[in-house]
Amino acid sequence: MRPVLLAVLLAACSTPGAGPASQPTAVIEEDPTAAPAPTATAQADALTAEGAWVRAVPPGSKNSAVFLDLGNSGSTLVQVKRARSTAAGAVELHTHVDDGGVMKMRQVESLDVPGQGHLHLAPGGDHVMLIGLTADLHEGDEVAVTLVLADGSEKTVVAPVKTGPAMAPAHGHDDGHGHDDGHGHEHGDGHGG
């Protein structure tokens, strides 16, 4: 019986054109590139921070705020998600909202710097709030604030303590800051005195 059985099997296997072709081989979808790729560029690399300053507050004050101009040289949104500083027990991201004619501070989820754009943190607007100052802030002191971005990268900014916006005309009371707005008036005529 064996030869017959073998013949039948061979016939079954070799029938040409009978029925659909053999089932397609299952392809195992295993893409080695599927793992999360490391971020090509950390958001902190695209973020610039200029003109940072911390508002000087009277001795014993609990809170102050940090202002600066954030720039984004990248093409995608950069979000500051939180901040920290050894100068304060807590650091929050705040903005001001108009609440029935009264400007009130509100905590926000993030400070967003659009691609190729800027976010200007200034009194009356967005700011980084220092809550529970660990020491008095004296003019001339410097406060380091670390901004933590959405991708986890960080940028630390050193902000000098100032009494207020530099745009205010200085009345009396020169605090010794160099005024660096005198561009174009450098007369090199060297009066020897």
Distance CA(53)–CA(56), nearest Å, equals 9
- 120/177 with CB nearer Cu ion: 120
Contacts of 65 (CB under 8 A, 6+ apart): 54, 55, 94, 123, 127, 128, 129, 130
- Whose Cβ is closer to Cu ion: residue 140's or residue 165's? 165
How far apart CA 72 and CA 170 sit, in angstroms, is 32
Alpha-carbon distance of 25 to 83, in angstroms, equals 54
Binding range to Cu ion, per CB under 5 A, among 24-32, 67-75, 99-107, 138-146:
99-107
What gap in Å lies between CA 49 and CA 159, rounded to an integer? 10
Nearer to Cu ion, 42 or 105 (CB): 105
Are the C-beta atoms of 159 and 52 separated by less than 8 Å? Answer: yes
For the bound state, the minimum distance from the C-beta of residue 150 to Cu ion, rounded and expressed in Å, comes to 21
Q: Which of 94, 121, 149, 161 binds Cu ion (CB under 5 A)?
A: 94
CB neighbours of 64 closer than 8 A, spacing ≥ 6? 54, 55, 56, 57, 88, 130, 133, 137
Task: Please tell me the count of residues contacting Cu ion according to CB under 5 A.
Answer: 3
Residue nearer to Cu ion on the CB measure, 46 or 161: 161
HSE-CB at 167 with a 13 A cutoff on CA atoms is 4
Interface residue with Cu ion among 121, 128, 129, 145 (CB under 5 A) is 129
Residue 157 binds to Cu ion (criterion: CB under 5 A): no
CB of 186 to Cu ion, least distance (A): 40
The single residue among 44, 77, 105, 131 that binds Cu ion, judged by CB under 5 A, is 105
> How buried is 84 (Cβ within 10 angstroms: 0-12 exposed, 13-18 middle, 19+ buried)?
middle
Name the one range near Cu ion by CB under 5 A: 41-49, 54-62, 93-101, 130-138: 93-101
CA angle 77, 49, 118 (to 5 degrees): 45
Closer residue to Cu ion (CB): 48 or 63: 63
| Binding window for Cu ion (CB under 5 A); candidates: 50-58, 97-105, 151-159, 183-191 | 97-105
Nearer to Cu ion, 94 or 155 (CB): 94
- The residues binding Cu ion (CB under 5 A) are 94, 105, 129
